[in-house]
Structures are given as C-alpha cells and as structure tokens.
C-alpha cells in the first residue's frame, strides 16, 4: 500500500494565518474556536498539493488581509509540508508571490500580476513537473475521498454507485442468469445493447402499442362515418346510357362543322397566293415609274443618282419581296396554329368518345327472355343461347365503333403532326426572313445617308420625287391592283369563328360531367364493402396490439426482477466491504417497480439524517474500504471531532479538528484566551 503521512506543515501569510508550524504524529488534535483557522489548515494542505481549497476552488482568496480588509502587498504566501511517502521523506513547497516592476523613470514599482513557485525537496520546478510528481504519489480525486469523512457522500449518487461497484467487482449477467430460463433468454437479447437500454426499448414499445390501441376505436368510428348511402345500380346505368346517346349526337355535329372549317382554311391559303402575285405586279409598276422618273430627271450618272438607284433596287428587289413573304408566312403560321388547336380539340373529343364507348357493358335481363307468342318464360338453355348471341353482337358492334373512333383519331393525329412540322418550318423561315429584312434595312439606311451627303454636294436638275408622283397619279392599273389586294387581305385576316363549336363543346362537357357523377355514385357500394373490410382489419389489429402489450409487459416484468436480483447481489457484495455503514442501491416503489439509488445507511438511518458522530464514523468506514481498494492511505482530517466520543479504528493518520470555545488555534490541547478564562472564573465564583 502507498502510505502517505504528513509530518510537518508550515504556513506563511495564508488566508489569515500569518506564521504557523505544526508537527504531526499518527493522531494529532488541533483545538480552536470558530473562525480561528482550523478549516484553513485543511485548505492549506489541499492548496499545497493541488492548488485548490476544501471546496474544490482554484480561484479563492488566499492572500492575507490587514485590519481594514485590504491585501497586504509585497509579501509571499506560502505553504510547506514534510511528508513520509512509504517511509521516504518528501518536502513540498508552493509559494504565491506578487510581481512588482519598476519601469524606467518611475519613482515606485507597480504591481504587474502574480506568480506561483513550486519546490520538490527544495528543488525549483515547473507547475507541470510538480503536478506530475504529486500525481505519482496520489490521485487528486482519490486523495479528497480518503482525507474527508464527508467527501464520498457529497458525490452524486450515480458516482457513488460507480465507485462501490468497482470496489465490489462487476457481476456478469450470464452468471446471474444461470439456472433461470427466463433470465437466460433475457441476456441473449443483450447482444448489442445494455440491460438499461433494453429496458428503455421495452418501455418505449409498450408506450407506442398503448398509444396505438387507444386510437383504434376512433379510427373505426371514422371509417364507419365515412361509409356512403347504398345506391340503385340499375337506375344509374340507364341514366348513363341516355346521356351517352346525347354525347354521340353532339359528336356528329362537331365532325360536320370541322369539315366546313377545313374548307375555309383552304380558301384562305388560295387568297394569300393571289395577294403575293398582285403585290409582285404592283412592285414592278412602281419600279418602272421610278426608273422612268430618274432617267428623265438626270441625263448623266452623278454619284447621287448611282446611290439612289442602289437604294431603289434594294427596296424593290430585296426589301419589298421579303416583307411580302413575311406577311404571307405569318398568315400561314396563324392558320397552322389554329388548325393544330382544332386538331387537339378533336383528338380530345375522340378520346372522350372512345372512353364513353369502351365503358359500355353488355346487360342482359332474364325478365325479357320470354316466348314472343305465348309470353312464357324460355328454358335455361334457350336463354343462355339468346344471351350468348346478343353478347356476341354487342361486342362486335362495340369493337366496330371503337375501331372507327381509333381510325378517325389516328387520321386527325396525323394531320396535327404534319401541321406541327409545317409550323416549325414556317417559324424558321420567318426568323430567317426577319433577319434578312433587318440586314437590308441597315444597308438602305446607310445608302440613304450617303445619298443625302452626295445630294448636298451637287445640283439636282430635275425633282425625281415630283416625276414619280406625276407618273403614279397617271397610272390607272395601280389603284385597281391595290384595291384587289386590300379586298383579299380583308378575307385572309377574317379568322373563322373559332367559337362556333363552343356551345356544342360546353354541352358535351356538361353531359360528360353528369355521366362522371353518375359513375362515381356507382362506387358507393364498393366503398361500403371496402369500409367493412377496413373495420375488420382494425379490429384484428386491436386484438394483436393487446396481445403484443401483454407479451412485452411480461418481458418488462422479467427485466425488473433481473435488475433487482443484480442489485441485490451487488449490494450484498458491497456491504461485505464495510463494518459500520451499509448501502442501499434501490428503492421499491408503491407500484412494485424498482428505483435505482445509492444511499448510505447507518443502522437503517440514511446518512443525511444521522447525527454528526454517526456520519463521521460512517465516513471513516468508507475511507478504510477506499484505502484498501485504491491501495493508498493519507491523513484523515476530521472536522467537528468534539462530536464523536468513540471513533472508529483506522490505519490512516488522523488529524482531529476540535471546536473549543474561547480557545486560540493550538495543537495538543486548548489554549484559552484571557477573556474566556475571566468568564470561566466568574462562573466558578458565582
């Protein structure tokens, strides 16, 4: 065992103790009234070793104060201790010193902080070296536990239990479970989890199952209330057939109007071609008039004339044809877009018609299977043949209608695809044409600027503009051509009435909605059946959850019993280590459950409720066991020693701190103040 004994302690200017030296033997008594410095002795030992006081503070006020409670400056605060460590002498010293620095030119030195000096056997060393050497003798936490009788019970109960379990030694779950099939099965479940984690898992499983089972009656009620009223399927199917007949009639009307619309579009394209031809004639006449006017106005080829010719050439040969082409292409684009829209509507209508026809089912009523002559019911064989024949005809007719709708749909779809391809090509041509027009306009603008510049530098003999105006007014063909173009353009931009079929489509949409409502109502009986099935499923789930809760609660009961067995076993092993104090590691609750704890008991009384003497002796009993476990001993410092008449035996060094009224701090016996002695004398003579 690593035995540590304190032989001598010297304290200088430490927390009010100006100069004190104490020699210690194996059992040392220190007397003093309250406030004379008994606890300061313990603080000085802890500060010497670990730099802390008895309340585990590092930053406590250790400097000595004067009568006005001001720090006395420029004095060292030090503690020196002579120890025997396994009979080997060791001297430790720690000095807390103020640093005073006198700067250049200053009259007095100034306080610049504090420093701590460390000595081991009178050899100076760093804090790290000092702490390492102290740690080699004894661990700080262990030292505090084995030097103060109250230290262990001031720990958190979980920390106390951890220490006690280490002292008693771990108990194997497998060893505890041996011979009990339920416990063996429980331990087998602890492959990747602790017993405590498994306990929490089981509790969470039970809680979730109980929460789920509480919700099932509500869920059943919700399903019950969601069930619709039952409907008459025969009446609804009859109504659907009547409305489908109306849809078919509307489809035929829409198909006729679609053909008329195609004829209008073809005529529009023909008008656009005529407009282009007439525009070419107009451009030719305008060009000829301009050429004639230019030739008459100028006999020679000046620079301005050449530029003007270039301008007119570009306008008549490049710009105007390109603009006319763009107009025609945009008209063609509008036509294609309108066609595509109509094709899409027709395709949608065909699809809806197909869905209506496809949804029709063969219905045969045996009530009508009677002889046409005597109205007697036909025999079963005849009825079956009649039913088979009618069903074959129905299927053939339905297939013929669906095939016809498919064929019409494919034809319309092909037209739409062709129109989409043409539209894409037209968009490309428009973009190319507009780019070309922009380029030509930029060229003309540049030439016009050059023309104005050339014109200002030369005299124009004849006004070309006047001549053009004159020849244009004299031409009789131009007004006729322009009138024809205006008439054709008005027809081109007269869009066919796209809303002509809206009323029919609205009627069709309304009837389709009504059919859908009727079909949806047929689902009511299926919904009722599905709801009944769901209710049975929920009832089965409720039964399964109840059984699951019972099974898991059984496992929970096994866990609680196993934990109690484990705690009882550990508790017995722990209590074997102590003679005066016993430990309780669990409390049995009102509901039979187990609450973990770690309470020290003295003759059945909790440590916190016992008297001072019992608590001190219990602390010594605990320290004795801790010393045996950690294989180390150190001085036990017992405060309020006057409360104990008979102290429990211990192999550790004992330092007793007695509270003695009227006594100075003194070793061995009380040393009373003169005032206290006078008071005692008065009592004697009274």
Residue 117 has pLDDT above 50, yes or no: yes
pLDDT computed for residue 300 by the predictor: 44
Q: Which residue has the higher pLDDT, 495 or 526?
A: 526
| Residue 239 domain-assigned (yes or no) | yes
Q: Minimum mean pLDDT among 223-237, 386-400, 527-541: which range?
A: 223-237
Q: Report the alpha-carbon distance of residue 402 to residue 360 in Å, rounded.
A: 11
CA distance 152 to 582: 14
89 forms beta bridges with 84
- pLDDT of 175: 86
Least confident of 213-222, 360-369, 479-488, 570-579: 360-369
The domain that holds 16 is classified in CATH as 3.40.50.300
Q: Lowest mean pLDDT: which of 323-337, 416-430, 450-464, 557-571?
A: 450-464
Which residue from 294, 287, 293, 289 is spatially nearest to 314, judged by alpha carbons? Answer: 287
Question: 514 exposed, middle or buried (CB, 10 Å; 0-12, 13-18, 19+)?
Answer: middle
Residues 131 and 274 in one domain: no
Q: DSSP 3-state assignment of 79?
A: strand
Q: Is the pLDDT of residue 498 over 70?
A: no
Q: Which of 77-81, 337-341, 679-683 has the highest mean pLDDT?
A: 77-81
517 and 641 both lie in a single domain:
no
CB 45 within 8 A of CB 22: no
527, 547, 567 - which closes a domain: 527
Q: What is the pLDDT of residue 139?
A: 93
> Final residue of a domain: which of 527, 542, 560?
527
Is residue 105 located within the same domain as residue 239?
Answer: no
Same domain, yes or no, for 129 and 245? no
Please give the pLDDT value at position 590: 78
Mean pLDDT of 230-256: 83
409 and 274 assigned to the same domain: yes
**503 and 645 share a domain?**
no
The answer to whether 298 and 305 have CB atoms below 8 angstroms apart is yes
pLDDT at 659: 93
**pLDDT reported for residue 496:** 57
Please report whether residue 624 resides in a domain: no
Task: Report how far Cα 465 is from the mean position of its chain's Cα atoms.
Answer: 79
The answer to the question of residue 277 being in a domain is yes
pLDDT digits 0-9 by tens, 416-470: 899 999 989 999 999 998 899 999 889 899 888 888 887 776 555 557 787 788 7
CA distance 162 to 632: 19
Q: Per the domain annotation, does 628 fall within a domain?
A: no
- The helix/strand/coil state of 598 is strand
Q: Give CA separation, 548 vs 201, 216, 246, 541, in Å.
A: 14, 15, 60, 10
How many angstroms separate the CA atoms of 447 and 441, rounded? Answer: 10
In sequence order, the β-bridge partners of residue 14 are 17
Whether 181 is covered by a domain: the verdict is no
Q: Cα 538 to the chain's mean position, in Å?
A: 32
pLDDT at 261: 65
* Residue 640 banded pLDDT, cuts 50, 70, 90: very high
pLDDT, one tens digit per residue, over 20-67 is: 999 999 999 999 999 888 889 999 999 999 999 888 898 888 888 888
Point out the least confidently predicted range of 74-83, 429-438, 587-596, 647-656.
587-596
The pLDDT > 70 percentage for the chain reads: 93
The percentage of residues in the chain with a pLDDT greater than 90, rounded to a whole number, is: 35
Q: Give the domain extent around 51.
A: 2-138+634-685
| pLDDT confidence of residue 31 | 94
* Residue 651 shares a structural domain with residue 513: no
Domain for residue 428, yes or no?
A: yes
Q: For residue range 169-208, what is the model confidence (pLDDT) as tens digits?
A: 878 888 888 888 988 888 888 888 887 888 888 889 999 9
Alpha-carbon distance values, 560 to 176, 196, 553 (Å): 14, 10, 10
Mean pLDDT, residues 342-348: 90
Residues 523 and 662 in one domain: no
Confirm if 655 and 640 have CB atoms less than 8 A apart.
no
Mean pLDDT computed over 268-282: 83
Q: Does the pLDDT value for residue 494 go beyond 70?
A: no
Average pLDDT, stretch 206-223? Answer: 90
Sequence-separated (6 or more) residues with CB below 8 Å from residue 539: 216, 220
In this model, does residue 278 exceed pLDDT 80? Answer: yes
- Shared domain for 8 and 131, answered yes or no, is yes
Residue 157 in domain: no
Domain check: are 317 and 436 in the same one?
yes
Residue-level pLDDT at 593: 65
pLDDT at 292 over 80: no
Q: Are the C-beta atoms of 321 and 495 separated by less than 8 Å?
A: no
Q: Point out the least confidently predicted range of 95-104, 327-336, 468-477, 492-501.
A: 492-501
- Computed over every residue of the chain, the mean pLDDT equals 86
The 10s digit of each residue's pLDDT in 627-638 is 999 999 999 999
Last residue of a domain, one of 493, 527, 561: 527
> What's the pLDDT at 499?
60
Could you tell me if 378 and 240 lie in one domain? yes
pLDDT tier, 367 (very low <50, low <70, confident <90, very high otherwise): low
| Number of domains forming the structure of the chain | 2
- Asked whether residue 581 is assigned to any structural domain, the reply reads no
What is the model's pLDDT at position 462?
56
Pairing of strands 110-120, 27-32: unpaired
Mean pLDDT across 17-21: 92
């Amino acid at each position: 065992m690593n035995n540590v004994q304190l032989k001598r302690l010297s304290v200088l200017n430490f927390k009010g103790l100006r100069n004190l030296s104490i020699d210690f033997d194996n059992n040392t008594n220190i007397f003093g009234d309250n406030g004379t410095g008994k606890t300061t002795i313990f603080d000085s030992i802890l500060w010497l070793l670990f730099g802390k006081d008895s309340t585990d503070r590092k930053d406590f006020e250790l400097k000595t104060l004067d009568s006005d409670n001001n720090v006395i400056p420029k004095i060292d605060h030090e503690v020196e201790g002579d120890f025997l460590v396994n009979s080997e002498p060791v001297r430790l010293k720690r000095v807390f010193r103020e640093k005073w620095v006198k700067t250049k030119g200053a009259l007095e030195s100034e306080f610049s902080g504090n420093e701590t000096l460390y000595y081991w056997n009178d050899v100076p060393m760093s804090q790290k070296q000092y702490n390492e050497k102290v740690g080699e003798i004894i661990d700080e936490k262990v030292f505090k536990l084995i030097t103060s009788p109250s230290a262990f019970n001031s720990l958190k109960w979980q920390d106390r239990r951890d220490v006690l379990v280490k002292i008693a030694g771990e108990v194997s779950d497998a060893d505890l479970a041996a011979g009990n099939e339920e416990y063996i099965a429980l331990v087998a479940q602890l492959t990747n989890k602790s017993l405590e984690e498994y306990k929490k898992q089981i509790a969470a499983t039970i809680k979730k199952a109980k929460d789920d089972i509480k919700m099932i009656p509500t869920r059943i009620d919700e399903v019950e209330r969601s069930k619709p009223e039952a409907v008459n399927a025969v009446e609804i199917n009859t109504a659907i057939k009547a409305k489908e007949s109306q849809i078919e009639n509307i489809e035929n009307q829409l198909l006729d109007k679609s053909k008329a619309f195609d004829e209008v579009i073809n005529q529009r394209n023909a008008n656009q071609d005529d407009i282009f031809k007439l525009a070419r004639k107009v451009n030719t006449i305008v060009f000829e008039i301009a050429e004639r006017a230019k030739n008459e106005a100028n006999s020679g080829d000046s620079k301005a004339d050449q530029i003007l010719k270039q301008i007119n050439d570009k306008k008549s040969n490049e710009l105007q044809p390109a603009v006319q082409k763009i107009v025609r292409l945009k008209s063609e684009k509008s036509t294609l877009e309108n066609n595509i829209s109509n094709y899409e509507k027709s395709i949608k209508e065909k699809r809806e018609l197909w869905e209506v026809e496809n949804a029709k089912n063969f219905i045969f009523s045996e009530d009508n299977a009677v002889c046409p002559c005597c109205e007697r019911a036909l025999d079963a064989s005849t009825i079956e043949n009649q039913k088979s024949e009618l069903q074959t005809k129905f299927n053939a007719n339905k297939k013929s209608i669906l095939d016809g709708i498919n064929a019409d749909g494919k034809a319309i779809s092909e037209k739409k695809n062709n129109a989409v391809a043409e539209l894409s090509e037209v968009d490309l041509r428009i973009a190319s044409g507009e780019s070309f027009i922009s380029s030509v306009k930029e060229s003309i603008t540049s030439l016009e600027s050059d023309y104005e510049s050339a014109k200002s530098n030369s005299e124009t003999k004849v006004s070309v503009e006047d001549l053009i105006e004159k020849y244009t007014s004299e031409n009789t063909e131009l007004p006729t051509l322009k009138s024809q173009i205006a008439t054709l353009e008005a027809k081109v931009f007269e869009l066919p009435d796209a809303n002509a079929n809206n009323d029919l489509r609205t009627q069709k949409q309304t009837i389709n909605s009504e059919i859908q409502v009727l079909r949806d109502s047929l689902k009511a009986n299926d919904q009722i059946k599905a709801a009944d099935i769901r209710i049975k499923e929920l009832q089965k789930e409720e039964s399964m959850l109840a059984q699951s809760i019972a099974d898991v609660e059984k496992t929970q009961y096994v866990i609680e019993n196993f934990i109690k067995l484990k705690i009882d076993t550990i508790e017995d092993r722990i209590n074997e280590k102590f003679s005066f104090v016993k430990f309780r590691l669990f409390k049995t609750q009102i509901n039979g459950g187990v609450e973990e704890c770690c309470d020290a008991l003295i003759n059945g009384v909790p440590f916190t409720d016992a008297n001072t003497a019992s608590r001190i002796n219990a602390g010594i009993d605990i320290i004795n066991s801790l010393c045996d476990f950690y294989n180390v001993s150190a001085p036990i410092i017992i405060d309020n020693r006057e409360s104990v008449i008979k102290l429990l035996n211990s192999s550790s060094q004992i330092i007793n701190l007695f509270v003695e009224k009227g006594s100075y701090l003194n070793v061995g016996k009380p040393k009373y103040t003169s005032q206290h002695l006078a008071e005692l004398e008065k009592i004697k003579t009274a």
